[in-house]
């Protein structure tokens, strides 16, 4: 039997990397449908598609009133779709509140998976860093227009330094802050309210069993994100505002005085009256390494103008600051300057130092 002679046709040769250059042309995905990310879980994104999803104003800014509320469009036309991030998005992060473009199977049937191919321009982005030595920004929620800072008046006691840091994050994201004081049946709110009165931060007071009429009015037709450390009652508020939310609740540890994390991930929930609230896991630190001092100062237009007379490299916390002269010789409010400096000082050190 004659032995077979092999030649180059019998060997499969993989083409070199340079033999077929990748095209820079990417598909436009004109057929993609618009979605609103309501939950993120281990690389899977639950998105709401159809009529009545929140939209952003044409100038790219977060809408102060949610367009397309459920009261003006039928819920029957909407579907929850589970999607994954397309490879072409690379490392671009997707968070709750993002408006995205989705292709593939958007029927929402079980065992189906769509693909997110584009993240639309964000109107706002609430972010924090792990701590004050980490300058890597960690996005929390996109496109919110109101930050509801939930803090208990007792059990656990309020932590003003943590509140200050959350206010700085709100100013950095250009989001309206709202202070929500819970457990007013255990302690009076007067002292804490007076502390933030010079800043003009609006507030609502809630006690156990009381109606939430004022809070409902504040969050109606808006995209509000609830933040606060564990045990302050965020999940209890969410369950009261959205009856079918069924968010897990827990009690404060009697030994440590801290709450236990019950919300493990951010989730967007639609309010019956219109609008959305985004519940986030409880936080025990709120790093601000990514926030510049100028960002905080810009939230105080009166003092921002006076700061041009400060010496170069002024921290606005010590001697020689022109803001002191602005208060002594001009129209500056001493209480407001003290509040500004408290916020500037909150960018340093630990959030646990009250």
DSSP 297-308: HHT-HHHHHHGG
The SS3 call for residue 331 is: coil
Q: How confident is the model at residue 249 (pLDDT cuts 50, 70, 90)?
A: low
pLDDT greater at residue 187 or residue 16? 187
Residue 282: pLDDT above 70?
no
- Output the pLDDT for position 254: 37
Cα 170–172–177 angle (5° rounding)? 15
Closest of 274, 277, 255 to residue 263, by C-alpha:
277
* Token pair in block for residue 21: 């250059």
pLDDT greater at residue 260 or residue 212? 212
Residue 258: pLDDT above 60?
no
* Token pair in block for residue 167: 């206010």
Residues 6+ apart with CB under 8 A from 275: 66, 69, 219, 220, 221, 222, 223, 224
- Output the pLDDT for position 52: 77
Residue 67: pLDDT above 60?
no
Distance CA 139, CA 169 (A): 11
* Token pair in block for residue 183: 């457990």
Q: Which ranges of the chain would DSSP assign to H, the alpha helix?
A: 160-173, 190-196, 213-219, 234-241, 293-298, 301-306, 322-329, 334-346
Residue 20: pLDDT above 50?
yes
Q: Quick one: 190 exposed, middle or buried, by C-beta within 10 A (0-12, 13-18, 19+)? A: exposed
CA distance readout (Å), 280 to 95, 147, 201, 269: 12, 11, 21, 11
* Least confident segment among 84-88, 269-273, 281-285, 347-351: 347-351
Number of residues assigned to the chain: 354
- Output the pLDDT for position 257: 40
- Output the pLDDT for position 78: 87
- What is the per-residue pLDDT across 191-229, written as a single tens digit (0 to 9) for each? 999 999 988 999 999 998 888 999 999 999 999 999 988
The mean pLDDT of 123-134, rounded to a whole number, is 78
- Output the pLDDT for position 295: 87
* Least confident segment among 17-26, 87-96, 121-130, 305-314: 17-26
CA distance readout (Å), 253 to 1, 168, 258, 259: 86, 29, 5, 6
Distance CA 186, CA 30 (A): 56
- Output the pLDDT for position 349: 54
- What is the per-residue pLDDT across 130-185, written as a single tens digit (0 to 9) for each? 666 666 778 889 999 999 999 999 988 998 988 988 898 899 899 999 999 999 99
Distance CA 49, CA 37 (A): 9
pLDDT greater at residue 45 or residue 347? 45
Q: pTM value? A: 0.81
What is the number of alpha carbons within 13 Å of residue 185 lying toward its C-beta?
Answer: 5
Q: Quick count: other Cβ atoms within 10 Å of Cβ 255?
A: 6
Distance CA 13, CA 25 (A): 27
- Output the pLDDT for position 14: 64
The mean pLDDT of 239-265, rounded to a whole number, is 57
Residue 343: pLDDT above 60?
yes
At 144, phi and psi to the nearest 5?
-75, 150
Tokens 């002679």 -> residue = 5
In DSSP notation, 63-118 reads PSS-SS-GGGS-GGG-EEEEEEE-GGGTT----TT-EEEEEE--S--TT--EEEEE
Closest of 205, 142, 150 to residue 177, by C-alpha:
150
Tokens 């609103």 -> residue = 36
Average pLDDT, the chain: 82
At 316, phi and psi to the nearest 5?
65, 20
Distance CA 81, CA 34 (A): 11
């Amino acid at each position: 039997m004659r032995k077979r002679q092999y030649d180059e046709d019998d060997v499969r040769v993989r083409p070199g990397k340079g033999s077929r250059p990748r095209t820079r042309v990417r598909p436009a995905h004109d057929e993609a449908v618009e979605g609103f990310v309501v939950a993120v879980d281990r690389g899977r994104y639950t998105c709401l598609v159809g009529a009545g999803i929140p939209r952003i104003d044409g100038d790219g800014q977060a809408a102060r009133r949610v367009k397309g509320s459920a009261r003006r469009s039928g819920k029957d036309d909407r579907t929850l779709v589970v999607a994954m991030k397309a490879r072409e998005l690379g490392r671009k992060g997707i968070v709750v509140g993002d408006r995205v473009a989705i292709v593939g199977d958007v029927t929402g049937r079980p065992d189906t998976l769509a693909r997110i191919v584009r993240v639309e321009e964000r109107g706002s982005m609430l972010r924090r860093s792990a701590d004050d030595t980490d300058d890597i920004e960690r996005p929390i929620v996109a496109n919110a227009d109101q930050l509801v800072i939930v803090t208990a008046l007792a059990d656990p006691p309020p932590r003003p330094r943590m509140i200050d840091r959350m206010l700085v994050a709100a100013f950095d994201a250009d989001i309206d802050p709202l202070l929500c004081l819970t457990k007013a049946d255990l302690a009076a709110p007067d002292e804490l309210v007076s502390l933030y009165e010079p800043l003009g931060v609006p507030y609502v007071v809630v006690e156990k069993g009381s109606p939430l009429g004022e809070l409902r009015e504040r969050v109606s037709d808006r995209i509000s994100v609830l933040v606060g450390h564990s045990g302050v009652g965020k999940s209890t508020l969410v369950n009261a505002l959205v009856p079918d939310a069924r968010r897990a609740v827990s009690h404060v540890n009697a030994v440590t005085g801290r709450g236990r994390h019950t919300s493990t991930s951010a989730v967007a929930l639609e309010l019956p009256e219109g609008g959305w609230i985004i519940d986030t896991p409880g936080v025990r630190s709120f790093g601000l390494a990514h926030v510049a001092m100028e960002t905080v100062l810009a939230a105080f237009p009166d003092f921002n103008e006076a700061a041009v007379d400060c010496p170069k490299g002024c921290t606005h916390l010590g001697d020689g600051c022109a803001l002191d002269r602005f208060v002594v010789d001009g129209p500056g409010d001493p209480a407001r300057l003290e509040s500004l400096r408290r916020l500037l000082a909150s960018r340093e050190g630990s959030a646990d130092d009250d």
